[in-house]
Chain A
Amino acid sequence: MSDVAETQPGAPPRHYDLPRPQKELDGLEAVWRLPTGWRVFSAINNSVVGYLYIGAAFLFFLLAGILGLLIRTQLAVPGNGFLSQETYNQIFTMHGTVMMFLFAVPAVEALGVLLLPQMLGARDLPFPRLGAFAFWAYFVGGLVFFATLFFDLAPSGGWFMYPPLTGTAFSPGMGADFWLLGIGFIEISAIAGAIEIIVGVLRTRAPGMTLDRMPIFAWTMLVFAAMIVFAFPAVILATMMLEMERAFGWPFFIAGKGGDPLLWQHLFWFFGHPEVYIIFLPAAGMVSMIVPAMAQTELVGHRLIVVALIATGFFSFGLWVHHMFTTGIPMVSLGFFSAASMAVAVPSGIQMFAWIGTIAAGRLRFATPALFVLGFIAIFTIGGLSGVMVAMVPFDWQVHDTYFVVAHFHYVLVGGMVFPLFAAFYYWAPAFSSRPLSERLGRWVFALMFCGFNLAFFPLHIAGLLGMPRRVYTYPEGLGWEPYNLASSAGAYMFAAGILLFVVDLFRNLRPTGGPAGNVWNAGTLEWLPTGNYSVRSVPHVEGRYPLWDRPDLPREVREGAHYLPRTATGMRETIVTSPVEGEPQFLMRLPTPGWSHVVAAVAMAAFFLLLVAKAVTLALICGVVSIAAMVAWMWRADPPDAGPVEIAPGVEVPTLVSGPLSPAWWAMVVLTMVAAALYLSYVFSYLFLWTVSPEVWPQADRMPDAAWTSGALASLAVSAAALLGADRVLRAGGTRIGMGGLMALGVSALVAATALDVGALRSAGLAPDKDAFGAVTFMAPLLQTQVTAAVVVIALFTLARLWAGRLTAARRVVFDTLRLLWLYALGQGTLGLILTHGFPRLMGGG
């Protein structure tokens, strides 16, 4: 049946002999069969979830687009009474919020879920149920959040939600709470998606696909997801703090009590600026895939583009203060951020020249995707140049909070993300639909969108330079702003007509069932291989960046099963896990099957957050418990027993059970601890920031808790650490349930006790979180510690249950390994928190 294995390491294995037995394909189709009828919503395949994800993101794009049209209708003429001030405020807040959080980030995440497995030669991403959970959480949470508009409950403080406007004094209703809890929750879903993408890109590539051979889109998704990991926690912390201020009076942002509204701006823009690149980089990745196919030549400067992506990922974290140039920050600091803002233009320029170079090197086919790419290059370049203008502090002071900035960021975001996305729709439709989208309609869509966009937004630069401020619901006549606003509103409707025509095209031509139309563009990357529900029939060994160009016979070989894993080796859904750099096969990961547990978990978690806003605390807690129970049910089957080594290619065998750093679960937990660490570092920044602005509320050393309390809490953490290491040792030695169980119970109790001692200490010294900013930021440490401790407690109970059920052994120990990582992190965070909140005031001796 199989040939003799190759002997030299790293060489591609010999192919399977053809033809393959029919039962192999039948088996594959059977395990990857989709649920039918309404049960399709229990599906977790990346193809189904990716479709739903893109559909939902596009729905939110349409909804927020309608809000944009309402805005432009209101502003078309001066003194318009079409919308009231409050309604307008709700609408422009929701337009921005929905576009950023419910359209832009989910849309690119959705394209990642849909495209990455095929592009990387995987059968699916490593945690399909987590991906499906992320989708349902986002979709349900997003719909409810959007619906607040219809009940006059929507937030109205702008998508940036600056306090003090959004504090209880000026925003007493529930709108701001919906924003804080709703968006906070949706960000959790984005982080879940990011973890899935990072582990997927690093560990489930086809054998032989080294990092250097990986498609640029996968690189951009890797950088995108890494940026989410470091950027989103800052705003999650900010939303937690503002919600604590609104609900319980912890005065983080109230200047009269030592807080500072600027802290919100720092945290928000530490997320908000990278967010622009989080949206832009994957779109640039799409362009880097489309341009070579359209020009029929390899991408010029492939490696330099990778350099540019990584550099942009880093530099974009040094830009946040350029949203705050007029807030009174010292001049030199402004200079640092101005410099970084210019530095980030360099890698963006590298990408731009690489695309232009590729177009020049090949022969561009002027099909619809190419038109959208050219539109993107034109619009984004203009947006980039006006970006360099506002990166200059003196210029920014002139145009800050005017329509110039509105024009600039629409050029960047619509040019940088929406045009590439439409290019992607037209380009990749034949890979998923039995009919491509219409070329004739596509040209009209492009023309309407391109002309409409420029008509809508170019005049706004001038309106801004003439002094028209942002965020006003109307304006008086006679200031010379009228023609620009009228033209802009006309352009907005033209743009919308283009979108409408696109929807018509979708209805007429998109046929998701019935097999893909195929490689109509003669592209060179793996997503154009013939696919079924199981992704590719067999996984090729990748030897270059454009495997389909290098080996024209590859699609036939893959379809007939000549390459890796042409069947199901264990009778379950599987994907090959490879090493992160070289792409060597390491492990055959068995994947879950359709089910409802993740849907229940997502809906219940959305209900938990939204009921909290409505102050229905008991009902919210019930939903929280249901959500956790559903997750436990989902995880119970996630770690199947060893099925022994299996053959995935002639002479190539890999194990079906691994632990520690070889397992994707371990990688996922490492990424999750990075998220937690990023959140905690944002907290440390907040603590020190508040100290620099309000040292007078920091107490003298003698008013701090007795050192005995602090020592007790630290000792408790030490006991917890010792118990954890002991439990690890007992498990390795194949020890008893009683020994393991006792040590884990002791360790978890000590971890909980440490936080209790911390709170007791603060209380004993008469400190209170609602008294001043010092109290608030000090009590935030045990609050954050409780969060991570609660996660450790739940996973520890789960681990103990598996131990009792005989599902945790010295070899089958993935659950314990992941728990150990989180536990060690919790110990580190707890120690740092105690040193900071107990030690720092003693050291500095108050203000």
Chain B
Amino acid sequence: MRLAVSTLYGPLLWAGQFLLVYASESLFCRAGAGETHRAFALAVSVAAAGVLVVLVARQWRALSQPALDSVGVPLAGLSLLAIVWTALPSLLMASCTAAT
């Protein structure tokens, strides 16, 4: 279990960020707080990226199980890319605007 987490933390963090920023939009819009969704989404994204970078740095230093760490680190790299891409729409567009 611990091994699974130490390998999969990257995509797990992306999944958490994705779920939070996506699901929260409907809830914020529904609650009439659409204008704060952008700040929320960006805060979640920065937090996810920050945690990811810290974890990668720790893993890089420790390298206790070289074989599997060498899966965890590149996986985290791909996940960081996905986190940044997922954050971009919030940076560029206003929330709660219907597609027309």
A: residues with CB less than 8 A from B are: 210-212, 303-304, 306-308, 310-311, 313-315, 317-318, 325-326, 328-340, 342-343, 346-347, 393, 581, 688-689, 692, 695
Contact = CB atoms under 8 A, between A and B. Distances in A.
Contact of A330 (B12, B23, B25, B41): B25
A328 B18 contact: no
Contacts of B27: 692
Residue of B15, B70, B75 contacting most chain A CB atoms (<10 Å): B75
Nearest to B99: A331
B70 A340 contact: no
B59 interface: no
B88 A335 contact: yes
Contacts of B36: none
B11 A339 contact: no
B89 A695 contact: no
B36 to A, nearest CB: 13
Contacts of A313: 11
Q: Which 5 A-B pairs have the closest CB atoms?
A: A335-B89, A314-B11, A339-B85, A343-B82, A212-B67
B81 A346 contact: yes
B93 A332 contact: yes
15 contacts: A306-B71, A314-B8, A318-B14, A330-B95, A330-B96, A331-B99, A332-B37, A332-B97, A335-B89, A335-B93, A339-B89, A340-B86, A343-B85, A343-B86, A692-B26
Contact of A304 (B11, B29, B74): B74
Contacts of B71: 303, 306-307, 310
A311 B92 contact: no
Nearest to B73: A307
B23 to A, nearest CB: 8
B97 A331 contact: yes
B25 A333 contact: yes
B18 A335 contact: no
A57 to B, nearest CB: 30
Among A313, A315, A393, the most chain B Cβ lie within 10 Å of the Cβ of A315
B98 interface: yes
Interface residues of B, number: 41
A310 B82 CA distance: 14
Given A335-B92, A689-B26, 5 more contacts: A318-B86, A330-B95, A335-B88, A339-B85, A340-B82
B97 A307 contact: no
Contacts of B61: none
Q: Is the interface of A mostly helix, strand, loop or mixed?
A: helix
A336 B21 contact: yes
Contacts, number: 113
A314 B82 CA distance: 11
Contacts of A326: 99
A318 B17 CA distance: 11
Contacts of A346: 78, 81
A346 to B, nearest CB: 6
Contacts of A310: 7-8, 11, 71, 75
Given A311-B79, A692-B26, A330 B67 contact: no
Contacts of B68: 211-212
Contacts of B78: 307-308, 311, 343, 346-347
B85 A330 contact: no
B3 interface: yes
A170 B36 CA distance: 42
A343 B77 CA distance: 12
B70 A303 contact: yes
A199 to B, nearest CB: 15
Contact of B98 (A306, A317, A331): A331
A299 to B, nearest CB: 15
A328 B89 contact: no
B26 A317 contact: no
A328 B98 CA distance: 6
B99 A328 contact: yes
A455 B43 CA distance: 50
A315 B11 contact: yes
Nearest to B84: A339
Contacts of B25: 330, 332-333
A314 B14 contact: yes
Contacts of B81: 343, 346
Contacts of B58: none
A499 B3 CA distance: 45
Contact of B85 (A304, A340, A347, A581): A340
Contacts of A343: 78, 81-82, 85-86
B99 to A, nearest CB: 5
B85 A342 contact: yes
Contacts of A335: 88-90, 92-93
A688 B26 CA distance: 10
Contacts of A325: 99
Contacts of A210: 67
Contacts of B74: 303-304, 307
A335 B87 CA distance: 9
A211 B25 CA distance: 40
B11 A334 contact: no
A313 to B, nearest CB: 8
Given A212-B67, A331-B98, A692 B30 contact: yes
A210 B71 CA distance: 14
Interface in B44-66: none
A581 B68 CA distance: 10
A544 to B, nearest CB: 13
B79 A330 contact: no
A692 B70 CA distance: 43
Contacts of B79: 311, 314
Contacts of B3: 581
A288 to B, nearest CB: 15
A325 B99 CA distance: 9
B22 A336 contact: yes
B94 interface: yes
B98 A339 contact: no
B15 A314 contact: yes
Query: Considering residues A332, A334, A336, which has the most beta carbons from chain B within 10 angstroms of its beta carbon?
Result: A332
A336 B18 contact: yes
Contacts of A334: 89, 99
A306 B12 CA distance: 16
Contacts of A695: 30
Contacts of B95: 330, 332
B99 A318 contact: no
A328 B100 CA distance: 7
A302 to B, nearest CB: 10
Contacts of A332: 25, 37, 41, 89-90, 93-97
A147 to B, nearest CB: 41
Contacts of A211: 67-68
Contacts of B98: 328, 330-331
A698 to B, nearest CB: 12
A315 B93 CA distance: 22
